[in-house]
Amino acid sequence: MNYTIADRLIELRRKEGYSQEELADRLFISRQAISKWERAESLPDTENLIALSRLYGISIDELLGTGTINREHAKHNEPAKVTKFGYSGVEVDNADKYEFISDKKTRKGIPFVHIHYRRNIGLKRQKANGVIAIGDNAKGVVAIGRVATGVVSIGAISLGVVSIGAIALGLLSFGVITLSLIAGFGIITAAPIAFGIITVGVIAFGIISVGYAVYGIIAIGEYVNIRNPWE
């Protein structure tokens, strides 16, 4: 336990005039988590350290103190410096989760690379938000995750300009179940131009097809070509 860090967190919170509830709301965590930090029962993880440093307008070193305080914190998963995708940043790697946040950020403070996923199934899903985002819930220009939202998104559930996933929604979508505004490729597909087994679209190619101009074994539409489109 490090009571010096706990006292520092209490001091900063009170200096800014926040109650534990108000600080918890700003960090999107429970009041109990704040209370544990301030009783020296646990320490903030990387994501919360960064959020606190931004909220208080100080560096993480200033947030935690220096010298022996930082060395003590290192025993409790203080971020290590590493390089990923050509960007240096901080990393936390333990039995519960993995996280990397690049030092380089956009003007809005969004990291160029953010990787954040859980290893402990009992842990809540971890959010990743970056230009390149990889995690349980990923949001970025390029997003890869269980749930992915981005310009290019890859995930079990994906939403983006180009989406690839079990369930994919986007301008161009590739997946098992796809919904697209331009073209979709999947087993079950709904799109202006639809390719798949079961398709609905203005132009639809599939085994079972419904649309305006359709092509399939079972086809319903204005212009119909009944045959196997994949032969």
Highest mean pLDDT (candidates 15-19, 87-91, 132-136): 132-136
Residue type, 87: Y
Domain boundaries, the chain: 1-71, 197-226
Worst-scoring range by mean pLDDT, 76-80, 151-155, 195-199?
A: 76-80
| Chain segment 43-84, per-residue pLDDT in tens | 888 878 888 887 887 777 777 764 334 444 444 445 567 888
pLDDT category at 196 given cuts 50, 70, 90 is very high
How large is the average pLDDT for residues 148-158?
96
Mean pLDDT of the chain: 84
**Phi, psi angle pair for 27, to nearest 5°:** -95, -5
Q: What is the C-alpha separation between 230 and 218, in angstroms, rounded?
A: 13
Q: How many CB atoms lie within 10 A of CB 98?
A: 16
220 pLDDT more than 70: yes
The DSSP output letter for 135 is: E
Q: pLDDT value at position 74?
A: 41
Q: Which residues lie below 8 Å from residue 213, measured CB to CB, with a gap of 6+? A: 202, 203, 204, 221, 222, 223
Q: pLDDT value at position 95?
A: 77
Two tokens, residue 173: 């979508």
How large is the average pLDDT for residues 72-97?
70
Q: What is the C-alpha separation between 110 and 129, in angstroms, rounded?
A: 7
Residue percentage of the chain with pLDDT more than 90: 39
Percent of the chain that is helix, strand, coil (3-state, to 5) = 25, 50, 25
Highest mean pLDDT (candidates 83-97, 108-122, 184-198, 210-224): 184-198
Residue 92 near residue 99, CB atoms below 8 Å: yes
| pTM reported for the whole predicted model | 0.62
Q: What is the C-alpha separation between 56 and 54, in angstroms, rounded?
A: 6
How large is the average pLDDT for residues 214-221?
84
Q: pLDDT value at position 40?
A: 85
pLDDT category at 190 given cuts 50, 70, 90 is very high
- Three-class DSSP labels, 155-184: EEEEEEEEEEEEEEEEEEEEEEEEEEEEEE
pLDDT category at 17 given cuts 50, 70, 90 is confident
Residue 36 near residue 24, CB atoms below 8 Å: no
Two tokens, residue 148: 């992915």
Q: pLDDT value at position 5?
A: 83
Taking domain 1-71, whether its CATH number is 1.10.260.40 is answered by yes
Q: What is the C-alpha separation between 123 and 193, in angstroms, rounded?
A: 41
